[in-house]
Chains A and B, each alone.
Chain A
Amino acid sequence: MAINSTVSSDGAELTISVEGRFDFSAHQDFRRSYESLDTPPRIYRVDMRETTYLDSSALGMLLLLRDHAGGDTSAVKIVNCNPDVKKILTISNFEQLFTVQ
């Protein structure tokens, strides 16, 4: 499990990449990746290209990010999901809360 984050050059977009299993052990790192920024970005991208598995506490972390990003007015995209990850997001109907690509 590893969390990496990068901010676009204009500071408008934060990309958080999650590598390996996305579960409770990622909690601290995941939060730090968006709470440590001085200027809040406009768009948040969670990149799941390297994510092998997602558990329900990870869904909780995504909700925390959504709240942090402004709740109903937030722009949080979850991108590059593999079929397993996508399935978990679908079962939870998180497409209603996030842009899943």
Chain B
Amino acid sequence: MADCPALKILIADDTQADRMILESIVKQEGHTVVIADDGLDAVQKFSQEQPDIVLLDALMPNLDGFGAARQIRALAGENLVPIIFLTSLTDTESLVQCLDAGGDDFLQKPYNRVILQAKIKAFNRMREMHATMLVQRDQIVKHNNQLIQEQTIAKQVFDKVAHSGCLDASNVKHYVSPRAVFNGDVLVAALRPSGNMMVLLGDFTGHGLPAAIGGMPLASTFYGMVHKGFALTDILGEINAKLKTILPTGVFCCATFLEFNFRERTMTAWNGGLPDSFIYRQKSKTVEAITSRHLPLGVVPNSQLKVDCQHFELAVGDRCYLWSDGIHEARNKSGDMFGEKGLRAVFHQQPPPEQIFDEIMHAVTNFIGDGEVDDDLSLVEISMAAPDQVESQTMPRFPSPTPGLMEWSLDFEVKPSTFRYFDPLPLLLSVITEVPGLRSHSGSLYTILAELYSNALEHGVLNLDSALKQSSEGFAEYYNLRAQRLRNARRGYIRFHLSHDSREEGGRLLIRVVDSGDGFNHQLWIEDQRQGRGYSGRGIPLIRNMCESLHYRGKGNEVEVVYRWANELLKAG
């Protein structure tokens, strides 16, 4: 048996002879003794001396042992002070009463020295164990408080990074529960310079901080690139490469990435590893699924990443719904999962479209009922809207003008190996926006460049016929052909010529785009447009509206626009 350290032991007995016997046994073991001669005295001595173990005679004047035990217990609080009753009673009932009154054990008179010593040792072990437990409990409480505090701060930082975009836009509804953030859900949305909206919902593997931490590089890459006008596939590639580099094997991000073109009312989608997203068609009240066709982000290197997208035509009022698997895996009390069935049931009931979002939240919450206490829900709805109906507090803003490019020109030629893999628009736009007054025009300029470039690429170099886009099947076919021809392109070029003059009141930017294609009968085409014929070619009338002039030249493979702008600072002054 382990040696017992010296303890302070309170002995309370009204019989002096018994007290002396006990005192001598206890002292022989090297302990210090405190004496009390009745119950009241015992309570008082206890609070004065704070002994480690208490030996109490059951029957004493003034206050008996049972009453004293109760008061001593109260005084000791959460510290364990073993109380051993001393009794000459032998009937079962009396002995049980000793324990019921809060005693830990009893010792029958006459005293057996060996048993008393063994009991003191045993109770000391219990006392030490209890003390250790209290220390550890306090440590756990401290750590837990610290963790909660750290998570609160981390969530604040995370919210700022992840939600600095346009989630507040008038056509977006979203909900991401706090617990979902720490299960690795991340939702980001931003507007490109062209006015297109990009939305990405991601779900990192695992739980807690390790899962949440990957959201930071994802969000910063997303916002950095969307604002600069990079294409969806470029952004996907960059995020994938970054996650693959920094995350350990086994941690990755299931994601759905959507881009909404409000002007053309189209939507481009890429889903890697998330459950089907839904498109709700307002007119037919039907649901179309955007199914996962790809590996999640951060699993394979970019050389193996597939970035082919699905293209959808939407009408104003159509709605897209994204969710992570938290909704599907929400469980009720009997452990059933909400599942896709639960989601489809909501749509099946055909609530008014503007209530679908709330109905889904409602259905999931009802389903869970008294099940899981912690919710783990991410849900976002994006509606197709007319371009001027998309309002956000966080439209891209640009720093105040500083001296920069004034008069300059630039010739830039893009060859097959480049346009197969590289989008030159962000590069050109970043040159143009070096002109101080043009920064606030980057949205229009991006649109103009993008329309001219895609016309030159698709109709010029790739020789695609826009008539294909007139039917829904043709629409998909068009994009398949585009991808296929782009892959196989070996010849051709697209040349940009940009030149700019600055004056005090503003400036004039000339953009000429020449492609290696066969051109087209632009006189006839312009006549058609004027008559309002034809489904495609919505880009050109738009550019006409934005620019001072637009002219096709030569056989139609050359287009020139003039963009004139007024210095807004001057106007304000």
* Cα distance, A67 to B300, chains bound together (Å): 11
* Cα distance, A26 to B22, chains bound together (Å): 57
* Cα distance, A91 to B294, chains bound together (Å): 8
Evaluate contact between A60 and B206: CB separation under 8 angstroms. yes
Does residue A93 face the partner (Cβ distance < 8 Å to B)? yes
Does residue A56 face the partner (Cβ distance < 8 Å to B)? yes
Contact with B along A57-83 (1 / 0, CB 8 A): 101110110010000000000000000
CB of A59, distance to nearest CB on chain B (Å): 6
* Cα distance, A57 to B249, chains bound together (Å): 11
Spot the interface stretch: B267-275, B486-494, B500-508: B267-275
Evaluate contact between B203 and A56: CB separation under 8 angstroms. yes
Partner among B249, B293, B296, B300 whose Cβ is within 8 Å of the Cβ of A64: B249
Q: Which residue of B lies closest to A91 (CB)?
A: B292
Does residue B77 face the partner (Cβ distance < 8 Å to A)? no
Does residue A39 face the partner (Cβ distance < 8 Å to B)? no
Tally inter-chain residue pairs, CB-CB below 8 A.
Answer: 50
CB contacts (< 8 Å) of A64 on chain B: these are 249-250
* Cα distance, A4 to B471, chains bound together (Å): 56
CB contacts (< 8 Å) of B321 on chain A: these are none
Which residue of B206, B250, B251, B295 has the most chain A CB atoms within 10 A of its CB atom? B250
Does residue B201 face the partner (Cβ distance < 8 Å to A)? no
CB of A66, distance to nearest CB on chain B (Å): 8
Given the contacts A64-B249, A96-B295, A56 and B206 also touching, CB distance less than 8 Å: yes
Evaluate contact between A57 and B206: CB separation under 8 angstroms. yes
Given the contacts A91-B273, A92-B295, A96-B295, A61 and B206 also touching, CB distance less than 8 Å: no
Does residue B207 face the partner (Cβ distance < 8 Å to A)? yes
Evaluate contact between A92 and B206: CB separation under 8 angstroms. no
Evaluate contact between B205 and A93: CB separation under 8 angstroms. no
Does residue A100 face the partner (Cβ distance < 8 Å to B)? no
Evaluate contact between B292 and A67: CB separation under 8 angstroms. no
Given the contacts A60-B252, A63-B252, A93 and B206 also touching, CB distance less than 8 Å: no
Does residue A85 face the partner (Cβ distance < 8 Å to B)? no
Evaluate contact between B205 and A57: CB separation under 8 angstroms. yes
Contact with A along B270-309 (1 / 0, CB 8 A): 0011110000000000000000111110011000000000
Evaluate contact between B293 and A93: CB separation under 8 angstroms. yes
Evaluate contact between A60 and B292: CB separation under 8 angstroms. no
CB contacts (< 8 Å) of B273 on chain A: these are 91-93
Evaluate contact between A91 and B295: CB separation under 8 angstroms. no
Partner among B249, B250, B251, B292 whose Cβ is within 8 Å of the Cβ of A92: B292
Does residue A97 face the partner (Cβ distance < 8 Å to B)? yes
Evaluate contact between B275 and A91: CB separation under 8 angstroms. yes
Evaluate contact between A97 and B295: CB separation under 8 angstroms. yes
Chain A, 39-64, CB within 8 A of any chain B CB: 56-57, 59-61, 63-64
Partner among A56, A57, A60, A93 whose Cβ is within 8 Å of the Cβ of B294: A93
Does residue B458 face the partner (Cβ distance < 8 Å to A)? no
Evaluate contact between A24 and B249: CB separation under 8 angstroms. no
**Which of under 10, 10 to 19, 20 to 34, or 35 or more describes the interface residues of B?**
20 to 34
CB contacts (< 8 Å) of B249 on chain A: these are 60, 63-64, 67
Which residue of B249, B272, B293, B325 has the most chain A CB atoms within 10 A of its CB atom? B249
CB contacts (< 8 Å) of A63 on chain B: these are 249-250, 252, 299
Chain A, 5-26, CB within 8 A of any chain B CB: 24
Given the contacts A60-B250, A67-B249, A92 and B207 also touching, CB distance less than 8 Å: no
* Cα distance, A41 to B488, chains bound together (Å): 42
Does residue B254 face the partner (Cβ distance < 8 Å to A)? yes
CB of B450, distance to nearest CB on chain A (Å): 31
CB contacts (< 8 Å) of B292 on chain A: these are 90-93
CB contacts (< 8 Å) of A97 on chain B: these are 295, 299-300
Q: Which residue of B lies closest to A67 (CB)?
A: B249
CB contacts (< 8 Å) of B206 on chain A: these are 24, 56-57, 60
Q: Which residue of A lies closest to B325 (CB)?
A: A56
* Cα distance, A94 to B252, chains bound together (Å): 13
* Cα distance, A24 to B211, chains bound together (Å): 13
Evaluate contact between B207 and A24: CB separation under 8 angstroms. yes
* Cα distance, A85 to B484, chains bound together (Å): 34
Which residue of A57, A90, A92, A96 has the most chain B CB atoms within 10 A of its CB atom? A92
Evaluate contact between A59 and B293: CB separation under 8 angstroms. no
Evaluate contact between B205 and A60: CB separation under 8 angstroms. yes
* Cα distance, A67 to B301, chains bound together (Å): 13
Evaluate contact between B254 and A56: CB separation under 8 angstroms. yes
* Cα distance, A60 to B207, chains bound together (Å): 12
CB contacts (< 8 Å) of B300 on chain A: these are 97
Cross-chain pairs A/B with CB under 8 angstroms, 10 sampled: A56-B325, A60-B251, A61-B250, A63-B250, A63-B299, A67-B249, A91-B292, A92-B273, A92-B296, A96-B295
Nearest 9 CB-CB pairings of A with B: A60-B250, A56-B205, A92-B273, A64-B250, A60-B205, A67-B249, A91-B292, A93-B295, A63-B250
Q: List 7 additional A-B contacts (Cβ < 8 Å) besides A24-B206, A24-B207, A91-B275.
A: A60-B205, A60-B252, A64-B250, A91-B254, A93-B273, A97-B299, A97-B300
